A and B are shown apart, each in its own frame.
Chain A
Amino acid sequence: LAKTTQPISMDSYEGQEVNITCSHNNIATNDYITWYQQFPSQGPRFIIQGYKTKVTNEVASLFIPADRKSSTLSLPRVSLSDTAVYYCLVGDMRGFQKLVFGTGTRLLVSP
Chain B
Amino acid sequence: DAGVIQSPRHEVTEMGQEVTLRCKPISGHDYLFWYRQTMMRGLELLIYFNNNVPIDDSGMPEDRFSAKMPNASFSTLKIQPSEPRDSAVYFCASSGRGVGNQPQHFGDGTRLSIL
Contacts and interface: CB of A to CB of B under 8 A. Distances in A.
Nearest to A103: B42
Interface string B86-102: 00000101000011110
Nearest to B101: A93
A43 B109 contact: yes
Given A32-B101, A43-B91, A91-B100, A98 B108 contact: no
B68 interface: no
A92 interface: yes
A46 B104 contact: yes
Interface in A16-73: 30-32, 34, 41-46, 49
Contacts of B82: none
A99 B45 contact: yes
Contact of A46 (B4, B98, B105): B105
Contact of B42 (A45, A92, A96, A102): A102
A111 interface: no
Interface string B8-34: 000000000000000000000001000
A34 B103 CA distance: 8
A95 B100 contact: yes
B31 A44 contact: no
Nearest to A44: B106
A97 interface: yes
Interface string B59-85: 000000000000000000000000000
Given A41-B109, A98-B45, 15 more contacts: A31-B100, A32-B101, A41-B111, A42-B109, A44-B43, A45-B106, A87-B43, A95-B100, A96-B55, A96-B99, A97-B98, A98-B48, A98-B56, A99-B45, A100-B45
22 contacts: A32-B100, A34-B103, A41-B109, A41-B111, A42-B108, A43-B91, A43-B93, A43-B106, A45-B106, A87-B43, A91-B99, A93-B101, A96-B31, A96-B50, A98-B56, A99-B45, A99-B104, A100-B45, A101-B42, A101-B43, A102-B42, A103-B42
